[in-house]
Structure 1
Amino acid sequence: MQAQEGNPIIFIPGLMGSMGNDIIEGTGNWSFGTARWVYDPLVKQLEEAGYVVNENLFICYYDWRKKNSSIVEAYLKPMIREVKEKHPNKKIDLICHSMGGIVARTYIQSIDYQFDINRLVMIGTPNKGTIAAYYLWSTGRLLPSKKGRSFFNLIARGYMWILLRLMKVSFGLENLKEIHEIFPSVGELIPTGGYGSILCYENGNGKWQRVPRDYMRYENHFLNELNNNLFLLSHRINDVYCIVGYNFSTAEYLMIDRDKLFQEYEEIILDPVETLDGDGTVAVKSAEIEGLQHYYIEANHRRIVDGCFSYIKDIYGFKTAEGLQESVESEDITLHIIFTGKPNIIIYREKSADIELNEGQINTHYSYIYEKFPEEHKWIIIQNIPKGVYSIKVDNYQPKNLHLMVMSENLKELDTEQEIKAHQKDYIYKFEIY
């Protein structure tokens, strides 16, 4: 494939899409971490179209816990300077997934903008926020799902479980202040005024009654201001595109306890109310920006990344090359095993040992990711795991207890943390993937 001679591209991943020493000391240089299966296909597609990583295609990794303005200062601006040094006579294109689009907008709409961006492509960007962010910000817990979990939900759950354990903080209202301090970025992703009402209750007639926004405990002043100045976006760069996913069950509202709210002014969230107008994470109405160019794709928040490449081809005018991927791959089921310590683990399916972890080495015929974190925290992700009933056998040879959590998109029962006692052998935990 001939090298592209157009503008260089900076790709900005989304929340939980970067990992490195800046986020968790000891995890090494920047990478996509456990999100590599999300972003590697798009990078490969761009390479097949003629781009070369670190020549005219750059990845802007960042500490997604921080506020967007801090991310721009610490990561995006230095990356832009680096790209301009290599390409002094060209403007830059930004292709962004999810929160990456908010990072890009923060720079473009800021007073420090240098008019060096030519094109902005936002893929599943929550321009009006997400219900999941409000739920976490208000309850200190991750949003439950009525219809299974998405890959990104599992990634978020896994990273937060590890980070909070490392910081000796647990989920819940009692640690809400600490969670706000650790993850200020989440507060900048809660739904804006433009999203509309997010709280509702059942009125007794089988219908939902929306609650005025005045009753919300939290407002997103940052994103409200960004959206109030949207004219800057279209005035400062030539082309802005929103790629929007749909037809996946997505939280649209939060059902609350009516009596607690109106009698005691207490916000007690009961359950999410879901819609198919979204990608499983971001609602359609949040990913859209009125007056801009939109592409719509039936894909979830993970598959929209590689599935949207046919639209990127249209935007850039790439010629179709033999073997260039265009279609959305079918969604696979992943199995996540997160644990502490140095156990030996065998995972059985129908009495067959499918996955073995022995003295830190994995033996399996499945594709997998194996990430290690400080204080002996480890995370194994298995791809294309079959449905069925599984048993995990754990041998703990250490003189201390270890903790283990099993997650999957289609786990029959909600994941629960298991504790294996010191020197305990033949610990068995059973679960079913449907």
Structure 2
Amino acid sequence: MHTKIIIYIFALLLVITVRIQNVYAATNWIKYSSYPVLSIGPLESWDSNAAASPSILFDGSIYKMWYMGYDGSKWRLGYASSNDGLSWIKYDNYILESTDISNYINVHNPSVTYNNNEYLLWYAASDKTINRIHINYSKSDDGLNWQSSVQEVLKPDYPWESFGNKGISFPRVIINNNTYYIWYGAYGEYNGKVNWRIGHATSTDGINWTKYPEPVLEADQNWENTAGRFGLGNPNVIVENGIYHMWYHADRDIGHATSPDGIHWMKDPDNPVLSPSYNPNTFDYQRVGDPFVIKKDDIYYMFYTGLDNNGRWQIGLATSESIPTPIISPTPISATPSIAPSPSLTPNPTLTITPSITVTPTILPTVTMNPRNKPLVIVPGLGASWNPKAIFSCNLQNSGEWKLAPYAYYAYKPLMRTLSENAHLTQDKDFYLYSYDWRNDLQTQAIDFKKYIDDILSKKPEGTKINLIGHSYGGLVIRSYLNNYPGTDKVDKVITVGTPHKGSILAYPLWENGEVWMNDIFMSVSVNQVINHCRIVRTFISPSINIPKILSKKEIVHLLIPSIENLLPTYDYLKKERKIIDTFTLKNQNLWLKTHIFNKNGYPHTTFITLSGANTKTIRYLNTIDITSKYRQNTAWEDGKPTIKEYSQEGDGSVLTLSSELEGVQNDIIAGNHGDIISKKEAIKKILSYVGFDNVLSITEETSAPESDNNLVISIDHHAKLQLTTPNLDSIISDDDIIAINNPKQGVYRLKITPYTKGLAYIHIMQLTKNTEPEYNNYAMYFNPENPINFTFPYYSNQIRGLKLIPVN
């Protein structure tokens, strides 16, 4: 709990009325890695839970970092050193802890400078509830051994600094010509709002400070969570060419502002400049904060704190070739400030403002086109969107808001990161990811997608055209939109990636018998959720006998996932007695694709390009037999039960190349499976080149798209927090009512469920194994937020009776 409180304290800032004419060059921060450069310590160490809030100096040969660490009981300050700014060696133990443990148990948020052969330290101190925060001062000859006496130098004075018991925190100090300049955070009420803001003061000795009477920066941009009581925090200031630059954090992201005097600030219009990563497995998935910027050879290096899915704070690195340089012309203001630092302030070269760094990052080429001219929309495949309320409602009328499924991040994050970090586009402004209700048929998809496109273009200049990228079923969603609204001139280019334009054989077992074949993980996880849950919790009235009945898997698919019919192949794909069966003779056919045959001449305003995968084992034919009378009773396998699969290498594992290509357009092929062709470097490079980003480098993940033989899936139909501890003690936390693991470790798992509301709930635990029927168990129980529920269960890949939850008191 203390970890969450202290990071919420990292969010403050306020703007004073001042007119500033400015011209900004966009700031483009590139994250060095998905891993931290300074990690938490081992179990039972003083920084085992958190390593955060870096303050860095360079002494000409060594980079020195002071940071705060947390072990679950109290915050202390630590030290690490590095030869290159990337690989850090921690000091054996913490270097400072509170000596006043009865009142102020925590010390945190260090700011260190070096002046007159001494290290000077300003830091925050607080009680065990992270209240009564104030700023202390100390000094040291070596940066490790600090004065034992506590010297409080800054405490709340004004109403905007002293609401409740919070106080002031986040000191950042620079020195010039024997004058000390500090920016800090304060929690209080100002203009009727209570939150954290940025304050400013000066001093001649670093101990006795003269405050500017008003806050100098406040939360007023939408991303800064102005509705809450967090605000802005951890200001980091450097001065370059007479311009003050401040980086600060607000709730989840990091922002930037500039000033002519360190008091009157203008926020960057491209804020936030650094945001959490898309991948839930990265160290900065939940939040980023505590920015600290230094410069070397015209490259800027931002050390920052990231929060992962397990509640751990660790320190990462991002780089940028430039920072915005506005032309600033302040108009006179009526308020007369009590202090006015000179705009010509030049930072002491021994400070952290402009140290040298030997790191040489990859410099990305400049994009030569304006990417905002044509918004880009990514449409993911069937099952890649998630809405537990809709899925577990067992009702197509309940749809609502959908988002990218947590088990689909691996496939789309590399492309999204490349667009965001390397092409310098902003999500939901320059590019979009369309999450949708994949259960619906293509006729319904066309209507919903039109509303989405119209909404985007309504916020753009008249005449703006859009580019669309459709992966798998997403490409058919795009086609349904263009077919329903012929003659539209809103779409410039359509790129379909692994789209089954002539259907996919994987739809056959689903539509004929409700069987999910595990070639496609999105379809496997998502469709099994609908089938498994809705067969258990929902009964239907049989019209023939007028009594409730449990539907078969096939009946559930036909009733609740009609989109599967739109995926049946239109090419010949079945055999009987080794002879090919004409698709037009089958009882179950894909009428939508057969009545919407692609003709490029029908889209005079739009260019189509396809990208297909190859060199992956893909089903080409199913050899079938007539079914027995037993199956005839529920109409399973009406067109024949598969017995033998024949494969081809001309496909991506889910879709054959003959299906993913279109006649008369540019058709490209690369080696890879269904996930590779949307997530791998070569694929992203091609996709970007299609829409004009030829020189943008692709970002790829450390791990490949999962081609797993086994999947472990846990889901609930009642909103709750899920926490799963694996056999090797890794913790996975989800607020999405589902956890899916590819190739899970064998051993004993622990599951904790913390409900948000009361009510009856179903817990589903499922094992998906390639080429076999899924094994699952369902548990009904009453949820109460006051009583978290704990289970253990063993998982072994060869177990045959499904997974069983064992309650733990």
What TM bracket, shorter-length normalisation? Answer: 0.7 to 0.9
- The question of 1:58 aligning with 2:436 is answered no
* DSSP 3-state at the match of 1:188: helix
Match of 2:704 in 1: 330
- The question of 1:96 aligning with 2:470 is answered yes
Contact 1:151 1:302 in 2 (8 A): no
- The question of 1:297 aligning with 2:666 is answered no
CA distance in 2, matches of 1:346, 1:259: 43
Amino acid at match of 2:567: L
2:525 to 143, 152, 155: 155
CA distance in 2, matches of 1:151, 1:177: 22
Match of 2:593 in 1: 223
Match of 1:375 in 2: none
CA distance in 1, matches of 2:661, 2:470: 14
Match of 2:569 in 1: 191
* DSSP 3-state at the match of 2:477: helix
CA distance in 2, matches of 1:107, 1:293: 21
- The question of 1:404 aligning with 2:765 is answered yes
CA distance in 1, matches of 2:381, 2:415: 13
1:230-288: CA deviation from partner (whole Å, max 9, x where unpaired): 2444x423421000011222222222115879xx9953312443322211111111101
Show the 5 A alignment for 1:4-83. Answer: 4-20=371-387, 23=391, 29-34=401-406, 35-47=408-420, 48-83=422-457
* DSSP 3-state at the match of 1:318: coil
1:135-155: CA deviation from partner (whole Å, max 9, x where unpaired): 211112223x6xxx4433533
- Tell me which structure has the larger Cα radius of gyration: 2
1:129-182: CA deviation from partner (whole Å, max 9, x where unpaired): 111112211112223x6xxx4433533444334553576379x98453442121
Match of 2:688 in 1: 313
Contact 2:600 2:664 in 1 (8 A): no
Contact 2:511 2:565 in 1 (8 A): yes
Contact 2:392 2:530 in 1 (8 A): no
Deviation at 1:111, TM superposition (A): 4.3
Amino acid at match of 2:768: M
Contact 1:126 1:282 in 2 (8 A): yes
CA distance in 2, matches of 1:70, 1:401: 30
Match of 1:390 in 2: 747
Deviation at 1:330, TM superposition (A): 3.3
CA distance in 2, matches of 1:13, 1:74: 15
**Range with greater deviation from structure 2 (37-46 or 415-424):** 415-424
How many pairs align? 392
Amino acid at match of 2:691: Y
1:213 to 554, 578, 583: 583
CA distance in 1, matches of 2:523, 2:765: 18
CA distance in 2, matches of 1:102, 1:302: 17
Amino acid at match of 2:496: M
Match of 1:243 in 2: 611
Report % sequence identity.
22
Deviation at 1:44, TM superposition (A): 1.2
* DSSP 3-state at the match of 1:294: strand
Match of 1:379 in 2: 738
CA distance in 2, matches of 1:62, 1:403: 23
Query: TM-score scaled to structure 1, two decimals?
Result: 0.76
**Range with greater deviation from structure 2 (305-314 or 332-341):** 332-341
* DSSP 3-state at the match of 2:386: coil
Amino acid at match of 2:620: E
Gaps of 5+ in 1: 356-362, 373-377
CA distance in 2, matches of 1:8, 1:119: 11
More strand by share: 2
Amino acid at match of 1:282: V
CA distance in 1, matches of 2:385, 2:791: 36
1:14-52: CA deviation from partner (whole Å, max 9, x where unpaired): 111222355556998431023222222211112221321
Deviation at 1:346, TM superposition (A): 7.2
Amino acid at match of 1:219: Q
CA distance in 1, matches of 2:533, 2:511: 16
Contact 1:124 1:287 in 2 (8 A): yes
CA distance in 2, matches of 1:270, 1:371: 39
Match of 1:273 in 2: 646
More helix by share: 1
CA distance in 2, matches of 1:290, 1:281: 20
- Cα distance 1:52–1:169, how it changes in 2: closer, same or farther (>3 A)? farther
Amino acid at match of 1:430: Y
- Cα distance 1:254–1:101, how it changes in 2: closer, same or farther (>3 A)? same
* DSSP 3-state at the match of 1:273: strand
Contact 2:531 2:556 in 1 (8 A): no
Amino acid at match of 1:297: I
CA distance in 2, matches of 1:94, 1:176: 33
1:378-415: CA deviation from partner (whole Å, max 9, x where unpaired): 421236x57x643447799xx99965212366x9x754
1:58-87: CA deviation from partner (whole Å, max 9, x where unpaired): 222221111212112123333334324323
Contact 1:251 1:275 in 2 (8 A): yes
Match of 1:370 in 2: 734
Match of 2:546 in 1: none
CA distance in 2, matches of 1:27, 1:222: 22
Contact 1:109 1:232 in 2 (8 A): no
Match of 1:360 in 2: none
CA distance in 1, matches of 2:689, 2:649: 26
CA distance in 2, matches of 1:101, 1:129: 12
Contact 1:255 1:270 in 2 (8 A): yes
* DSSP 3-state at the match of 2:674: coil
Deviation at 1:420, TM superposition (A): 7.0
RMSD: 4.0
Contact 2:468 2:494 in 1 (8 A): yes
Gaps of 5+ in 2: 1-27, 29-366, 541-549, 754-759, 782-788, 800-809
Contact 2:614 2:673 in 1 (8 A): yes
Contact 2:614 2:650 in 1 (8 A): yes
CA distance in 2, matches of 1:267, 1:306: 36
